[in-house]
Amino acid sequence: MIPLFEVNGHELVSLNGKKSSFYQIIPSDIEGMTDFSQKEIFSELERNLVDYEDMAKIYWINNKLYINAFSDIELANAEIKPCNEPLTTFINNYSDQVSFYENYLTVGNEFIRLLSIKDYPASLNLLETQIWPDFVLNLKKIEKTHAKTKINFKRKLHYSNLFKGMRDVDSENAYNEAEDLLDSIARGDSALFEVETFLIIRSNSKEYLDQKTEEVFQNFKSIDGYLFQEERGLPYFFQSLIPGVPASFKRSDLCPSGYLSYLLPFHRDFIHLDGLKLSSRQGNDLYINLFSKSAINYNVLITGTSGQGKSMMANKILEHELSNGVKGMILDLGNSFYKTSKFYKGEVLSDKFNPMQFRNPRYLKEFILSVIEEKIGKKEEGKLFESIKSILEGEITKFSDLLLALEKDFEGISYYFSELETFFTEEECELNNLTYCDFSNYPEAMKAPLIIYLIEFFKHLEGKKIFVFDECWHLLNKNADYIAECFRTFRKHQASAIAISQNLDDFSITQLGRVIIQNTYWKFMFRQSLSVSEFMDQHTIELLNTIKSKKGDYSEFLLLSEDHKKPIRYYPSYLEYQLFTSDREDNNKLFNYINTNNEFLSFQECLINFTKLKHPFWEYTDER
């Protein structure tokens, strides 16, 4: 069945002694690039094809790109990696289980049909072939003199049509294109290729194979292409597609190098090799590793209008990192994270806390400044820091005693805390793996100092950790410098801060907002209306305007970092949707069920059972 003389890793020898190599092509992710940058990449690809002098076979299989090269080849903007399993890549492990029928074949338990392209679409958009089924594209450059002869002949055929009584626009365009191509080939900028392309339709049943085949035929018809279903020559053509076997070119057509470059799906969806699993628009898996060593910091900024999926995405990040042993702190405004915290057994922060649990003079200075209404000068801030530092050298353990000691240099400072004393205790909070704080349990005057306390609490957690800040930035303007320093130094504490806000433009007009934007490496931009600014250029805004989330199905956002600009989708599982959604109607139904059954079932059991009732065929696995 396999017409090869030898297979040695990625090196192959055909029965007639023709040697070739099999490689995986790993292109760059170009989805977020400007149109100009994308076209530049494909222009370079065309130049690489023009410089290649031998036959080659391009394989697009399972959304991965391979090449069977019969001589050395170079491709810019891509890694060419030897693939040591060429036959397995093409036909899995079933080379001895191939059977041919009238118009299809089976390989193991798989049904396959070959469709050759008889007429190519008149034009192709960049990356259009990514959505095609698996295919094999065979190519061979035509020598320049022969190419000129073929184009000249075509040009003369269309030239005669220009003198008809009614002008034939298609012929005139074809004539002009032939003229341009001839000039380009003469200069060496382009080349003419002999190509043949076979689409490989795969299915697990004959019925579904017929259905998929009809869909592919209709899709090709809609782009002015025409396919031919291989029947009589099926065994011959299938064997000629096997890596290492020279192409037949029995179904070949002429193709200029510019068009040929567009036939290659020269792109891959990629962020990291592992991490938080999400999806590209094409449905390919994507992974984001917040703690990647290449990241300048691990902080995340999530912005977008209500209902687009901000809190769901933050919940998903939190859930994923908890599954990897990362510790968590949640500052919740509006119960967006309550269910996730309770499901994963997070500890709720006590209504009272001990500001003196952490005897750090810088932290205590900021804690006190967050309560004082007047903004004091740098000199006074320095004096306050020195006073606290000196007092901490003594035996003082109560926050009230610290305030009394500060009265010596800052008369009346204790009065700022008179209404807050009921929230202070001498007991120390345990440093838990997951701590949840419901902001709504505290009065407005208590919220800013509470955030300062929680940040210090967070810093003392050992190992990797993640802090989710729901929208609370307006409370911290008096501590902007301190928050900025925390965001800058979180990386050395193996810490990631997730900041959530509604609109980047509104956020960026504040001093604190600008600092946070500048100190978050990862930006998850959900749909919102933005203007061109130092943080957002026109191309990014245009890309952001294409972002759309589909309620109940997926959330879509634009990922921005120094190295990435990419639309990404998050498809929640059934359980994740119940955990993360903030939809009032959905949550009312869930909590009605919980209130009815919590006497007999834990919160986790209630949520799992409720999900099963909504989706009877779903089975729970520990999705972490």
Tell me the whole-structure pTM to 2 decimals: 0.88
**Upper half-sphere CA count for residue 34 (Cβ side, 13 Å):** 8
Are 374 and 244 in a shared domain?
Answer: no
Apex 498 CA angle, 495 and 501, nearest 5: 155
Task: Say if residue 624's pLDDT is above 80.
Answer: no
Are 359 and 465 in a shared domain?
Answer: yes
3-state secondary structure of 409: coil
Query: In which band, very low, low, confident or very high, does the pLDDT at 173 lie, cut at 50, 70 and 90?
Result: low
How far apart CA 466 and CA 144 sit, in angstroms, is: 61
How far apart CA 18 and CA 23 sit, in angstroms, is: 17
Query: In which band, very low, low, confident or very high, does the pLDDT at 217 lie, cut at 50, 70 and 90?
Result: very high
164 falls within a domain? no
CB 101 within 8 A of CB 231: no
Can you give the CATH number for the domain in which 508 is found?
A: 3.40.50.300
Are 457 and 594 in a shared domain?
Answer: no
Segment 89-106 shows an average pLDDT of: 89
pLDDT for position 219:
95
Are 459 and 596 in a shared domain?
Answer: no
How far apart CA 59 and CA 181 sit, in angstroms, is: 27
> pLDDT per residue over 276-293, tens digit each?
999 999 999 999 999 999
280 falls within a domain? no
Q: What is the DSSP letter of 311?
A: H
Are 300 and 364 in a shared domain?
Answer: yes
Task: Say if residue 247's pLDDT is above 80.
Answer: yes
Are 332 and 209 in a shared domain?
Answer: no
User: How far, CA to CA in Å, does 51 sit from each of 47, 186, 624?
Assistant: 6, 14, 50
Secondary structure, 3-state, 322-362: HHCCCEEEEEECCCCCHHHHHHCCCEECCCCECHHHCCCHH
51 falls within a domain? yes
pLDDT for position 354:
95
Both tokens assigned to 31: 């989805």
Segment 200-216 shows an average pLDDT of: 97
End-to-end Cα distance, the chain: 45
How far apart CA 119 and CA 123 sit, in angstroms, is: 11
How far apart CA 218 and CA 212 sit, in angstroms, is: 10
Query: What average pLDDT does the chain have?
Result: 91
> pLDDT per residue over 411-430, tens digit each?
999 999 998 999 999 999 99
410 falls within a domain? yes
Are 482 and 559 in a shared domain?
Answer: yes
Are 334 and 215 in a shared domain?
Answer: no
Pairing mode, strands 110-119 and 226-229:
antiparallel
Query: In which band, very low, low, confident or very high, does the pLDDT at 553 lie, cut at 50, 70 and 90?
Result: very high
Segment 441-465 shows an average pLDDT of: 91
CB 276 within 8 A of CB 496: no
Name the domain count of the chain: 3
pLDDT for position 1:
65
Under 8 Å CB-to-CB from 160, ≥6 apart: which residues?
A: none
Segment 376-383 shows an average pLDDT of: 90
How far apart CA 354 and CA 362 sit, in angstroms, is: 16
How far apart CA 546 and CA 558 sit, in angstroms, is: 9
> pLDDT per residue over 475-484, tens digit each?
777 777 888 8
Dihedrals phi, psi of 56, to nearest 5 degrees? -150, 155
**Upper half-sphere CA count for residue 390 (Cβ side, 13 Å):** 11
Q: What is the DSSP letter of 30?
A: -
Query: In which band, very low, low, confident or very high, does the pLDDT at 589 lie, cut at 50, 70 and 90?
Result: very high
Q: What is the DSSP letter of 421?
A: G
What is the C-alpha radius of gyration for the chain, rounded to an integer number of angstroms?
32
> Kind and range of the H or E element at 100?
strand 98-100
pLDDT for position 154:
60
Task: Say if residue 398's pLDDT is above 80.
Answer: yes
Task: Say if residue 172's pLDDT is above 60.
Answer: no
Name the β-bridge partners of 568. 557
Segment 320-339 shows an average pLDDT of: 93
How far apart CA 269 and CA 287 sit, in angstroms, is: 10
pLDDT for position 202:
96
488 falls within a domain? yes
Are 545 and 616 in a shared domain?
Answer: no
Both tokens assigned to 495: 């810490």
Both tokens assigned to 304: 């977008």
Residue where one domain finishes, among candidates 242, 263, 284: 263
How is 571-615 classified by DSSP, letter by letter? ---HHHHHHH---HHHHHHHHHHHHHHTTTS-HHHHHHHHHHHHS
Are 238 and 299 in a shared domain?
Answer: no
Give the residue from 337, 356, 299 showing the smallest Cα distance to 520.
299
Task: Say if residue 370's pLDDT is above 70.
Answer: yes
282 falls within a domain? no
User: What are the residue ranges of helices labelled H in 115-231?
Assistant: 144-160, 169-187, 206-222
Task: Say if residue 162's pLDDT is above 60.
Answer: no
**Upper half-sphere CA count for residue 299 (Cβ side, 13 Å):** 25
Q: Over pLDDT 70: what percentage of the chain?
A: 95
pLDDT for position 153:
64
pLDDT for position 542:
95
Output helix, strand, coil percentages for the chain, rounded to the nearest 5.
40, 20, 35
Are 132 and 236 in a shared domain?
Answer: yes
Q: Over pLDDT 90: what percentage of the chain?
A: 75
161 falls within a domain? no
Segment 558-584 shows an average pLDDT of: 95
Are 467 and 606 in a shared domain?
Answer: no
Give the residue numbers spanning the domain of 605: 585-624
How far apart CA 596 and CA 591 sit, in angstroms, is: 8
285 falls within a domain? no
pLDDT for position 103:
96
